[in-house]
């Protein structure tokens, strides 16, 4: 299986002198192309830091990240930003969008920076994605005139504009009610079934249970791992039970 990301011996510390502590403590992670992975763990265990390290968003103090066959440490910041823009998508708990632009314009904004692309194609692509995630009728709305779930869908459209190889989601359903959260997971499942790898940080066993592999982090280390099969809704209760049992077993 081809790997989209390999993180080897990742070390990252914060603080100085006696106060210095490792937030990533010799972490090894491999993500296959097209894989659907969740990261769980207590607050402060290093989940976001790991995601930032794997995406080259943040530098590391030790170890190596290989993305799509390339060692990320050889790239200058501009080239890294290019790789992120073209091959990675990011979705956060609250999408950061500009208040003075409507939903469609917010979705296309990052793509407009790439002057190799044609504006009408960009608009067409955005509209196709909006339709796919069920917000086609909202394109002219202000970002303050839509629900949290709808805004998150717009954030997902924005992340998908470049046809990324992987989507990173840092607690993407954390601010949503459970129905909206499951709807967002339906969208991630669809994206994943079309071949895009998805890596999500979540506290919620019901969310993690819909992925195919879960990494459990504690104090900067991956302390446990669980393999599930690709999602079929027939056995979701069973999957949630398994995840909950593992969380209890490792005490997180």
* Pick from 161, 163, 208: nearest CA to 181: 208
Nearest approach in angstroms of CB 44 to Mg ion is: 8
Nearest approach in angstroms of CB 241 to Mg ion is: 25
Nearest approach in angstroms of CB 217 to ligand ADP is: 7
Q: Which does 62 bind (CB under 5 to 8 A by kind): ligand ADP, Mg ion, none?
A: none
Residue closer to Mg ion (CB basis): 48 or 162: 48
* Pick from 64, 47, 58: nearest CA to 7: 64
Residue closer to ligand ADP (CB basis): 27 or 133: 27
Residue 48 touches Mg ion, criterion: CB under 5 A: yes
Is residue 15 within 8 A of residue 78, CB to CB? The reply is no
Residue closer to ligand ADP (CB basis): 26 or 142: 26
Residue closer to Mg ion (CB basis): 44 or 195: 44
Residues found near ligand ADP in the complex (CB under 6 A): 14, 23, 41, 43-49
Nearest approach in angstroms of CB 220 to ligand ADP is: 7
Residue 55 touches Mg ion, criterion: CB under 5 A: no
Q: Which does 41 bind (CB under 5 to 8 A by kind): Mg ion, ligand ADP, none?
A: ligand ADP
Nearest approach in angstroms of CB 136 to ligand ADP is: 33
Residue closer to ligand ADP (CB basis): 216 or 231: 216
Nearest approach in angstroms of CB 12 to Mg ion is: 13
Stretches 41-49, 53-61, 138-146, 161-169: which one binds Mg ion (CB under 5 A)? Answer: 41-49
Q: Which does 55 bind (CB under 5 to 8 A by kind): ligand ADP, Mg ion, none?
A: none
By CB under 5 A, how many residues form the interface with Mg ion? 1
SS3 string of the chain? CCEEEEEEEEEEEECCHHHCEEEEEEEEEEEECCCEEEEECCCCCCHHHHHHHHCCCCCCCEEEEEECCEEHHHCCHHHHHHHHHHHEEEEECCCCCCCCCEHHHHHHHHHHCCCCCCHHHHHHHHHHHHHHCCCHHHCCCEHHHCCHHHHHHHHHHHHHCCCCCEEEEECCCCCCCHHHHHHHHHHHHHHHHCCCEEEEECCCHHHHCCCCEEEEEECCEEEEEEECCCCCHHHHHHHHHHHHHHHHHHCC
Q: What are the tokens at 189?
A: 């499942």
Residue closer to Mg ion (CB basis): 48 or 111: 48
Residues that bind Mg ion (CB under 5 A): 48
């Amino acid at each position: 299986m081809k790997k989209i990301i390999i993180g080897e011996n990742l070390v990252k510390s914060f603080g100085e002198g006696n106060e210095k502590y490792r937030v990533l403590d010799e972490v090894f992670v491999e993500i296959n192309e097209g894989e659907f992975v969740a990261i769980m763990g207590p607050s402060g265990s290093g989940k976001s830091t790991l995601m930032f390290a794997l995406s080259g968003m943040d530098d590391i103090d030790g170890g190596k990240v290989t993305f799509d066959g390339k060692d990320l440490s050889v790239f200058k910041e501009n080239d890294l930003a290019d790789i992120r823009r073209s091959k990675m998508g990011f979705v956060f708990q609250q999408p950061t969008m500009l208040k003075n632009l409507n939903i469609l314009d917010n979705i296309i904004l990052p793509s407009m920076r790439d002057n190799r692309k044609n504006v009408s194609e960009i608009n067409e692509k955005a509209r196709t994605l909006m339709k796919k995630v069920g917000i086609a009728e909202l394109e002219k709305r202000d970002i303050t005139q839509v629900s949290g779930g709808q805004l998150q869908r717009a954030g997902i459209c924005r992340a998908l504009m470049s046809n990324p190889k992987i989507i990173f989601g840092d607690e993407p359903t954390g601010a949503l009610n459970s129905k909206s959260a499951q709807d967002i997971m339906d969208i991630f499942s669809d994206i994943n079934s079309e071949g895009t790898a998805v890596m999500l940080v979540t506290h919620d066993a019901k969310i993690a249970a819909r992925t195919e592999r879960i990494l459990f982090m504690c104090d900067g280390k991956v302390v446990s791992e669980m393999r599930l099969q690709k999602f079929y809704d027939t056995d979701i209760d069973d999957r949630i039970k398994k995840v909950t049992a593992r969380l209890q077993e490792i005490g997180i």
